[in-house]
Amino acid sequence: MGLAKIGMAYMVARWEEKSIASAARKRGADITLIHLSSFHAVIGDRELGGKLPGVVLQRSVSHYVAVSSSLVLESLGLRVVNRGQATAAANDKVWSLALLRAAGIPTPVTGVAFGSEAAGRLADEIGYPVVVKPTNGSWGRMVALADDWEDLRVILEHREYMPQPEMKVHLIQEYVRKPGRDIRVTVVGGRPVAAIYRYSSHWITNTARGGKAEPAPVEGELGELAVRAAEAVGLEIAGVDLFEDPERGYLVNEVNPVPEFKNTVAVTGVDVAAEIVDYLLELARR
C-alpha cells in the first residue's frame, strides 16, 4: 500500500502552510503543494483531476482565489477542504450571519442597510455605539466604531467615496462590551482542538493587530458552540471568533475558513497542523 496522498492549495507559504506540509511529511504522507499562482485548469477536466491528490486543503488567504480555485478543484472530482461554497459563505459576513441565525447560533445583533439614511435609522434601532464592518475581510481591516450619528455619518461618507461595490452595503452591529478580550476556537473535523483568549487595549482584540493571547478552555459549552457554528456554515476547518456577554453568554462573531493558528500553537502547545493533516489523511483513506 502506497503513501496516503493529499494536496494543499495556497498562494503564500506562511508559517501555517509550512507547518502543515511538515506535519504531513512527518506522518509519511505524500503531499502535493499546489501553488495557485502557477495553477490552471479547464473546469470539469476529470483527466487532470485523476493526476492530483483526491483530497486537497484550501489555504489561500485571498477570498476570491480561495473560492474560485476550490470550485474548480471540486469540478475536477477532488474533495476540497473547505468546500468552495462553504468558504464563500464564511467569507461573506451577511451570508454567514444569516446561516448562523438560521441554525439558532447566538450572535451579536446585526443589521444591513444600503443607504446612509437607512443606516442611520438602523443604528438608532440597534442602539449606539455600533460597529460598522465590510461584508468581507479579515484582521479587523475597515472596521469602525461609531459612538453616535455624527461618527456614523463620517464613516458612511468615507465609504461612499470607495470604489468597491461592497462598500455600499453597510453591515452595522451592536458593540458588545466584552471583558477586554475575545475568544478564538480552532475547529477541525467537527472537533474543537484548541482555544485562546485574545486581549488588547484596543477595542478590536486581534493578535494580528498586536493583541496578546493565552489559553482558553476548549471543553464544554464553548467548544460545542464553536463546532455548531462551523457546521452551520459548512466548514470542516474553521477559526470561530466569539464574544462573551455578561447577560447572554457566548456570542459567535465570525467564522474563518482559512484560519491562522501560529499564536494558538504558541500559547496552547496544541499541534494544530498535525490535527489538520490527520483529518485530511482520514478523508483520503475513506
User: How far is residue 184 from each of residues 79, 121, 131, 239, measured CA to CA in Å?
Assistant: 26, 32, 19, 6
Residue 262's SS3 state is: helix
pLDDT at position 159 over 90: no
CA distance 187 to 138: 18
Percentage of the residues of the chain whose pLDDT score is greater than 70: 94
Cα-Cα-Cα-Cα dihedral of 269, 271, 272, 273, to 10°? Answer: 140
The dotted CATH code for 5-88 is 3.40.50.20
Helix 272-285 to helix 15-26 angle (10° resolution) is: 50
Give residue-wise pLDDT tens across range 29-83: 999 999 999 999 999 999 999 999 999 999 999 999 999 999 999 999 999 999 9
pLDDT of residue 164: 81
Which cell goes with 162? 470607495
- Mean pLDDT score across all residues of the chain: 93
Fold of 110-174: Dna Ligase; domain 1 (3.30.1490)
pLDDT of residue 165: 74
CA distance 156 to 171: 11
Count of CB atoms situated within 10 Å of the CB of 76: 20
Domain ranges in the chain are 5-88, 110-174, 177-271
State the Cα angle at 237 between 136 and 283, rounded to 5°: 140
Q: What is the DSSP string of 59-122?
A: --SSHHHHHHHHHHHHHTT-EEES-HHHHHHHH-HHHHHHHHHHTT-----EEEESSHHHHHHH
pLDDT of residue 139: 59
Pairing outcome for strands 30-35 and 5-10: parallel
Answer yes or no: pTM beyond 0.85: yes
Q: Are 239 and 255 in contact (CB under 8 A)?
A: yes
Give residue-wise pLDDT tens across range 122-155: 999 999 999 999 888 665 677 999 999 999 999 9
- The CATH superfamily of 177-271 is ATP-grasp fold, B domain (3.30.470.20)
CA distance 76 to 55: 11
pLDDT at position 236 over 60: yes
CA distance 203 to 176: 10
